[in-house]
């Protein structure tokens, strides 16, 4: 059995968007295990029960977690979420922009509203949450932001032009924001996971998953446990000289 990366986040407050399932839930649990108090963001009432299950799992291990509902693509809901964090914790040390959606469609039949929705959740959501977080982090003089891209932003994928465009936007946003932050103690970086077994892959047929797996040098599609180390590292003091970078746990699928 692997031992996970051990980092000390004692006394830190983290907000993980889209934390009621998949990578976000695993990152939130890992942060809580490392000593952080964690806000579990979820988009709507359909995710209340899964979010409560994540909170219960964290509390069962002696950690501290709170749920906060907001659609990250909605400016008013995002600002209300950060007001909740500010009044509840007075500080925010770590923002993980993780919320995401994906579906496959060839460009010639992709509806404009579906393109827009994918851009809104990923790119606009990352911007809105980052803007709100910066207002807190600049005020307190420290913090960090970790965005979630995808290796597909680098290598493309048929049927996912809208998704990869949104992830490419997140990568460019990460780089420019890291430069804009400058000398302030607020590193901004990204993680670009490779294929990872989460609900986002639920509709992918088994033969397609087998094809993906066959092309991964490590010989497996990642579990969330294979991904969280990147988020732990980037949230830790050890990553303080990383600025505008993207690290990609992907089993060697894409050599970035």
Cβ distance to ligand NAD smaller for residue 76 or 184: 76
CA-to-CA dists, residue 53 to 40, 65, 132, 224, angstroms: 11, 11, 27, 17
φ/ψ of 126, rounded to 5, equals -65, -40
**163 has catalytic annotation:** yes
Residue 236 binds ligand NAD (CB under 6 A): no
φ/ψ of 13, rounded to 5, equals -115, 130
DSSP conformational letter for 106: -
What angle is formed at CA 27 by the lines to CA 23 and CA 33, rounded to 5 degrees?
145
User: Which of 2-10, 85-93, 137-145, 191-199 is the region at the interface with ligand NAD (rule: CB under 6 A)?
Assistant: 191-199
Asked whether the beta carbons of 8 and 94 are under 8 A apart, the reply is: no
Cβ distance to ligand NAD smaller for residue 108 or 153: 153
Among 148, 164, 189, 248, binds ligand NAD (CB under 6 A): 148
Cβ distance to ligand NAD smaller for residue 121 or 232: 121
C-alpha–C-alpha distance, residues 56 and 110, integer Å: 39
Among 80, 201, 216, 218, binds ligand NAD (CB under 6 A): 201
Cβ distance to ligand NAD smaller for residue 98 or 189: 98
In the complex, what is the shortest distance from the CB of residue 190 to ligand NAD, in angstroms, rounded to a whole number?
A: 10
Q: 249: closest CA among 8, 5, 6? A: 5
In the complex, what is the shortest distance from the CB of residue 132 to ligand NAD, in angstroms, rounded to a whole number?
A: 13
User: Which of 57-65, 103-111, 197-205, 235-243 is the region at the interface with ligand NAD (rule: CB under 6 A)?
Assistant: 197-205
Nearest residue (beta carbon) to ligand NAD: 22
Task: Provide the 3-class DSSP secondary structure of residue 30.
Answer: helix
Among 15, 23, 85, 247, binds ligand NAD (CB under 6 A): 23
Kindly compute the dihedral angle of the four CA atoms of residues 214, 168, 18, 42, in this order, to the nearest 10 degrees: -140
Among 17, 164, 174, 236, binds ligand NAD (CB under 6 A): 17
The residues that are catalytic are 163
């Amino acid at each position: 059995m692997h031992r996970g990366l051990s980092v000390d986040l004692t006394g830190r407050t983290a907000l993980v968007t889209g934390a009621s399932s998949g990578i976000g839930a695993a990152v939130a649990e890992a942060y809580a295990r490392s000593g952080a108090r964690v806000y579990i963001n979820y988009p709507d009432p359909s995710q209340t029960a899964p979010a409560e299950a994540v909170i219960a799992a964290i509390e069962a291990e002696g950690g501290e977690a709170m749920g906060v509902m907001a659609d990250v693509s909605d400016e008013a809901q995002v600002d209300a979420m950060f007001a909740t964090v500010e009044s509840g914790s007075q500080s925010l040390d770590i923002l993980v922009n993780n919320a995401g959606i994906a579906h496959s469609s060839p460009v010639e039949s992709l509806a404009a509203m579906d393109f827009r929705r994918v851009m809104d959740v990923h790119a606009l959501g990352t911007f809105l949450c980052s803007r709100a977080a910066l207002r807190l982090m600049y005020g307190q003089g420290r913090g960090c932001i970790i965005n979630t891209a995808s290796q597909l932003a680098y290598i493309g994928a048929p049927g996912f032009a809208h998704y990869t465009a949104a992830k490419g936007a997140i990568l460019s946003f990460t780089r420019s924001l890291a430069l804009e932050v400058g000398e302030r103690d607020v590193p901004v970086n990204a993680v670009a996971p490779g294929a990872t077994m989460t609900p986002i892959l639920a509709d992918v047929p088994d033969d397609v998953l087998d094809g993906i797996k066959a092309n991964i040098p490590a010989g497996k599609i990642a579990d969330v446990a294979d991904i969280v180390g990147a988020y732990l590292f980037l949230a830790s003091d050890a990553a303080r000289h990383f600025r505008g970078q993207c690290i990609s746990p992907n089993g060697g699928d894409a050599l970035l």
